[in-house]
């Protein structure tokens, strides 16, 4: 019985320490929201200031008129920070674009179209 309890505690605390969050951003959102699917944020900046190692941020379809600034890096121990389009939504950055951080800072970007700076388009695939 003690062995089962110790195993449970180990699994519980390990999963609590390495908890990963999933956040959502939508042009119809609000940065005062909690970033959930039902209450998405409005700006990429809010997402970039909040996401930490192991987190995933999904962008719902639409055009975002600001770039994406990443405050934090992922880590090999805790995982990448992933920024991605939600399902098959078309996500357009029509401002500063998306930085070219793929793999460099344990941050991954996928599924974006960048119109603000032509040199950023290849970085957003």
Instruction: Give pLDDT tens digits for 32-58.
Output: 999 999 999 999 989 999 999 999 999
In a domain, 10, yes or no: no
What pLDDT, on the 0 to 100 scale, is given for residue 106? 82
- The total number of structural domains that make up the chain: 1
Domain span at 72:
20-124
Q: Which two tokens stand for residue 106?
A: 């344990």
Query: What is the sign of the dihedral through the CA atoms of 117, 123, 124 and 125?
Result: positive
Residue 11 belongs to some domain of the structure = no
CA pseudo-torsion sign 36, 61, 97, 78:
positive
Q: Is residue 120 part of a domain?
A: yes
Compute the chain's Rg from CA coordinates: 17
What is the helix (H) or strand (E) element at residue 56, kind and residue range?
strand 56-59
Instruction: Let me know if residue 3 belongs to a domain.
Output: no
Identify the bridge partners of residue 83 per DSSP, sorted by sequence position. 57, 109
Between 118 and 122, where is the model more confident?
A: 118
Q: 65 pLDDT exceeds 90?
A: no
Between 4 and 55, the more confident residue is 55
Q: State the DSSP code for 75.
A: B
Q: Is residue 62 part of a domain?
A: yes
Q: What is the mean pLDDT of the segment spanning 102-119? A: 70
Q: How many residues can be counted in the chain?
A: 125
Name the β-bridge partners of 100. Answer: none
* 87 occurs within a structural domain: yes
Tell whether 119 is covered by a domain: yes
Return contacts of 116-119, CB within 8 angstroms, 24+ apart: 116/67
Q: What is the pTM of this model?
A: 0.75
- Is residue 46 included in any domain, yes or no? yes
- Find the range with the poorest average confidence among 5-9, 24-28, 30-34, 52-56: 5-9
């Amino acid at each position: 019985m003690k062995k089962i309890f110790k195993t449970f505690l180990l699994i519980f605390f390990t999963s609590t320490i390495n908890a990963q969050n999933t956040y959502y951003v939508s042009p119809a959102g609000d940065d005062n929201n909690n970033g959930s699917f039902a209450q998405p944020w409005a700006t990429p900046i809010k997402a970039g200031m909040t996401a930490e190692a192991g987190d995933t941020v999904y962008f719902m379809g639409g055009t975002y008129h600001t770039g994406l600034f990443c405050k934090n890096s992922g880590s090999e121990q805790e995982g990448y920070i992933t920024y991605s389009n939600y399902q098959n939504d078309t996500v357009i950055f029509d401002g500063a674009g998306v930085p070219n951080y793929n793999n460099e800072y344990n941050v991954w970007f996928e599924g974006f179209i960048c119109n603000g700076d032509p040199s950023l388009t290849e970085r957003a695939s």
